[in-house]
Chains A and B, each alone.
Chain A
Amino acid sequence: MALLWWIIPAQVNDRGSFGLPPSLAPRALAWVMVLCGTVLALQNTRTPAQPGTGLNLKDIVFLAACVTAVGVMLMAMQAVSGWIGRPYAGFLCVAPLALIAFTALHGRAPIWVYAFNAVAVPALVYVTFWWGLRLPLP
């Protein structure tokens, strides 16, 4: 429940520093939010969190790993498509590596799965999106 505590003050801070446009309605809305948040926070202090729920460290580490994997893939795609100015260059270079990473995150997969995911899946996406739907990818 600590996170709830952290989110709410952050929201309040945002509000102060942000300076909402001089229209009444958004400000009123914002105040309703603050009020609601405060009530919640009070409630949460009164009833302590039961053990066993909420985030644990393992979850956070895993979440961070997944997010990093996707993030690195996105940055690599952006970079590669910048170097080679053709559609799909970035996608075709990076997607197989990304899939290997995703599969590794899942773990416990036989080697053929890595190969299948890295080759067949990007190929399938490429075929559907480009030849089937004519939509450009990076």
Chain B
Amino acid sequence: MHFMKHLIAGAAALVMATPAFAEFPDKSVTLVVGFRAGGGSDAAARILAAEMETQLGQKIIVENKGGGGGAVATQYIRSQPADGYTIGFAVATTFAFTPLTGRVDFTADDVDFIATTHGYRTVYAAPKEAPFDDWAGMIATAKDRGWINYASIIPLDRAIMQYIGKKEDIAVNIVPTRGGAGARQAVLGGHVDLGFSGSNALPMMEDGALKVIAALNPEGIAEHAQIPTLGGLGYDVAASEAAVFFGPKGMDPAARDRLEAALAEAVKSETFRDFVNNKFRGFETFRSGADTAASIAADTQAYEGLMAVIAE
């Protein structure tokens, strides 16, 4: 049923989108997803790609080039022609944080942004048998004992925790884990005191399997107002993560605008909104290409400050 609906919508869009003159796009568009096939980020990209197909009236070929948190896909996109027929999908920190680590040779200025389609939410989770229930309790426990064990997943969360450790004068034992699953295992099994987690910790908290004591994203967790944000706790840091569509530097403006408009429509679809809110448990947000570039520039500045504090 669903499929038929798309088909009809697609056919309708095709008829409407083919006026007398040849307009972008007149052939299939390749979307390079910067993550392995099958994860939450990839699923969002594929849903959006399906919606864009109905908007643009052309096939969208989804290709996965995972690795380096979107860096591999970014490198690839930079080598492609800037005609709008090859675009990429990565996250905000790919451009705002990864370049600061000095491991890649691109910055946010080396690509053109098309749009931000949705936001990610990230939290600090603690085991349910932890001797504390909130952030203040965690800090008190850590001060009392002198140290806490913290399960880290990505360089950014590690940097933020180092920053907090410095501010609070506690020793943070950073335990590296492989991906979200490794960190969750460490938290659920009570092998660490605190761990970084994506929004998949929320249903676990609702089930009483773990405690969520703070949110790293500045927007906080709308449905659980009691969870404080780092900003609310008086720290001048945050992890703002969002899904970003981008293309090679100097993209054809007409094509870029067309893609941005298609994405602006695509994010309004019921399928996508349901996915983001109820399945992915991120949050809805749409930013134009220009706004995306501005917010990434602001993030970069904030992270530079963060790195400076850690390096002190």
Contact = CB atoms under 8 A, between A and B. Distances in A.
Q: Determine whether A and B are in direct contact in the complex, meaning some CB atoms lie less than 8 angstroms apart.
A: yes
A87 interface: yes
Interface string B243-285: 0000000000000000000000000000000000000000000
B120 interface: no
A136 interface: yes
Contacts, number: 9
Contact of A136 (B27, B30, B85): B30
A108 to B, nearest CB: 39
A136 B81 contact: no
Chain A interface size range: under 10
Contacts of B28: 87
Chain B interface size range: under 10
A86 B27 contact: yes
Contacts of A136: 30, 61, 63
Interface string B63-88: 10000000000000000010001000
Interface in A40-92: 85-87
Nearest to A134: B61
A87 B60 CA distance: 12
B81 A85 contact: yes
Interface of B: 27-28, 30, 61, 63, 81, 85
Interface of A: 85-87, 136
9 contacts: A85-B81, A85-B85, A86-B27, A87-B28, A87-B30, A87-B61, A136-B30, A136-B61, A136-B63
Given A86-B27, A136-B30, 7 more contacts: A85-B81, A85-B85, A87-B28, A87-B30, A87-B61, A136-B61, A136-B63
